[in-house]
Amino acid sequence: MKDFVALINAVEITNKTNAKIQALVDYFSKASPKDKLWCIAIFTGKRPSRPVKSTLMKQWCMALINLPEWLFLESYSTVGDLGETLALLHPEPTHSIEKSLSQWMQDIIALKPKTEAEKKAYVLDAWSGLQTQERLIFNKLIGGSFRIGVSKKTLVNALEKLSGIDANQLMHSIIGNWDIDSITFEALINGTHINYDNSKPYPFCLAYALEKPLDELGAVNTWQIEYKWDGIRGQIVKRNGEIYIWSRGEELVTQQFPELVHAMQQFKNDFVIDGEILALKNNSVLLFNDLQKRLNRKNVSKKLLEEVPVGFYAYDILEYNGKDIRHKPLEERRLSLEALFKTTTALAHIKLSQCIQTDHWEALQAIRAASRAINSEGLMLKQKASPYHVGRKKGDWWKWKVDPLTIDAVMIYAQKGSGRRSSKYTDYTFAVKNGDALVTVAKAYSGLTDKEITEVSRFVTKNAIEKFGPVRTVKPELVFEIAFEGIALSNRHKSGVALRFPRIKRWRKDKTVEDIDTIASVKSLIKAQ
């Protein structure tokens, strides 16, 4: 457990990916096989369900140290994390408990069916036998809310560095179905429970944002021009009757999109195709806000399948009937992709991406400007002679997005950041006018310089009105221009709208709260998209 605590401390104090990877490698190099498995399970969300309610842990802590609830809540609002508050409030340990991570996890699993009295006795004994940092990790493990700044990709990169095994194979291995009680660490990372040859994807070819005038790109007929869609970039792999769907983040998402799996079974040939997973209804692309309802779900209900049907726009083909064709020019790969689509009957939600035909660069300006009306982000420009590169190669693929939408809004809430920003207010909530009141429309935490963040933090400290846990209500005086990629109606938000990728464009020191947008003007942008 001490080694696991040291690992958590190491990855929490840095925002550098390489440092996190090295900390993980160091841990896996010395941890026991069972502890390695539990570490992977914890970081990939395969944790057991919570055996003890957090309200009970709070009550036990207050009773133990004879603390009134108002003082506990004040402490909680200052710290901002329940598990850390409980760890800090408990007195120094009276004894020492030495258990491995796997032993603690087995205890937590065994705790689930026990009585409240038995759970209380176990938790209090654990608190009294652990140092503060160990107690914090124990609280997070038992509370079921273990969140740490390690992505699955970072974990996989660490395992690749440790073992030399291909990162994509490792991703398939650890994301796939496996049981911690019936697999060894070596078997897991070597993928003995999967057939990786059938599922292996290719690295994605990526584009740069267009950074030169169109007339410097050469003849327009040497480029394949497509719409840029706002969905989930994905590779669909079909080999030997098996179908796998990979996201650009190198995660297997097959189970999330059963209708795509069914559709791909209609093709007789084997292939690997690259494209965009989109919410499609009535032959139209829906907003990303709709697609979000389908993401990260282990089980997709029949109702959700009907409410948010998903489709796929195919951009490219990387492998055809077992042959890697990435080296061929895009123009030839497009012909192969079209040939593939001719081998099956029409599928309403599986489409070839549209190639936009034009004889002049000037005509694209209007096409790009109108693309938001069909929920597109703009245009993609791809050299017809280009191979399918690994990663980015400047000059072959360009993305030419529409300009972002913007509104003026006032900051009304602020919260401190994490890591190196934990001492400053960096997370902000913004509002617009709704009659004489203000209604929140967005949260944002990027776009300001370090100097501006320091200045905003000073304002929050001096002008905080109320405290709600770690959140501070502030006087509505600071106005900011907020940029975002799209907007949609939303029943989940009090304002009735949801903004796509909101971020701070600039601090409008030249404006006051009287100058900010109204909710009506914000909603009018929906029609203007």
* Active-site residue set: 228
CB 245 within 8 A of CB 257: yes
- Cα separation of 432 and 250, whole Å? 38
- Cα separation of 335 and 177, whole Å? 37
Residue type, 159: L
Decide: helix, strand or coil at residue 404: coil
Phi, psi of 455 (to 5 degrees): -65, -40
Decide: helix, strand or coil at residue 157: helix
- Cα separation of 467 and 488, whole Å? 30
- In this structure, the strands spanning 208-209 and 242-247 are unpaired
List CB contacts of 145: < 8 A, sequence separation 6 or more: 50, 83
CB 235 within 8 A of CB 257: no
**Token pair of 521 as six digits:** 């003007």
Give just the sign of the alpha carbon dihedral 51, 292, 348, 202: negative
Give just the sign of the alpha carbon dihedral 422, 423, 426, 430: positive
- In this structure, the strands spanning 405-416 and 471-474 are antiparallel
